[in-house]
Amino acid sequence: MSENFTKEINGLKIDPQIFSFPFACKCNGECCNYGVYTDKKEAEMILSIQDKVKTMMDDSQSLDVSAWFEAPEEDEDFDSGVAVGTQIINGKCTFLDKNGLCSLQKLAYSENQHPWKYKPLYCILFPLTVWNGALTVDDEHIDRLKHCNKFPVSNATMVDYCKDELIHFLGEKGYTELIEYKNEYFESIKEGVNK
Ligand code: SF4
C-alpha cells in the first residue's frame, strides 16, 4: 500500500488517511490488552531497569522477567530491524496493571520524568502506526477493540487528536511539514472536485 503515498517526512511515507480518520478516544487501556511490538533496543532498555519496573507491578503481573517478552523477529519497520513483542499475561500486556495503567508510564511519573520516557514508541503512536515504511492508521487494532473510538468524545481527526504524539515522533519541523502537507492535500482534492 505504501508505494502509492507520495509524501515523505524524515524518510517515512505519509498515508493521507490520518488527515481524515475520525479519532477521539478516552478509554482505560483496552488497546494494551494485546501487548505491543517494541524495538529490540527498547526491550533491552526495559530489561536494564527491570528492578525499578517491578516496583510498579501488582499481583496480576509477572515478576519473572523471562516471561515479559516474546522471541525477537526481523521487522524493517523498527529502527534496529528487530521487533520484540510483549507477552500477554492474564489477558493483558505484561506491563499493564490491574487498574489499566502501564507500569512503564507509572515509573516515569514516580520519577517526575516525561510520561513517555520508558514507553515503547508504538505504544505512544497508537492509534497511529508505521506499516511498510508508512505512517498510517492502525485500523486493524482499532477494529478488534470493543470500546476504542466507538464512543468518540469529539469530532477530531487523528492528525489533530494525536498532535503531541506526532510532534514527539516527527519533531517540531516534521510536524510543521505534516500540517503543510495536510493543507496541500485537501487543497488538491478541492481543486480536483472543482475542475
Ligand atoms: S507497554 Fe504499557 S502502554 Fe505499551 S501496551 Fe504494554 S501496558 Fe500498554
Whether the upstream peptide bond of residue 127 has omega within 30° of 0, thus cis, is: yes
Q: Is residue 1 part of a domain?
A: no
| Domain shared by 51 and 63, yes or no | yes
Pick from 70, 91, 126: which residue ends a domain? 126
| Domain shared by 67 and 118, yes or no | yes
Contacts of 176 (CB under 8 A, 6+ apart): none
Give how many domains the chain has, as a whole number. Answer: 2
| Domain shared by 142 and 96, yes or no | no
Would the CB of 102 count as within 6 Å of ligand 1? Answer: yes
What atom of ligand 1 comes closest to residue 119's alpha carbon? 1
The DSSP letter of residue 152 is -
| pLDDT tens by residue, 34-84 | 999 999 999 999 999 999 999 999 999 999 999 999 999 999 999 999 999
- Round to whole Å and give the CA distance between 148 and 142: 6
| Domain shared by 116 and 154, yes or no | no
| pLDDT tens by residue, 96-106 | 999 999 999 99
pTM over 0.85? The answer is: yes
Query: What is the CA(149)–ligand 1 centre distance, in A?
Result: 18
| Domain shared by 118 and 38, yes or no | yes
| Domain shared by 43 and 114, yes or no | yes
* Domain interval for residue 172: 6-25+127-195
Contacts of 166 (CB under 8 A, 6+ apart): 128, 159, 175, 178
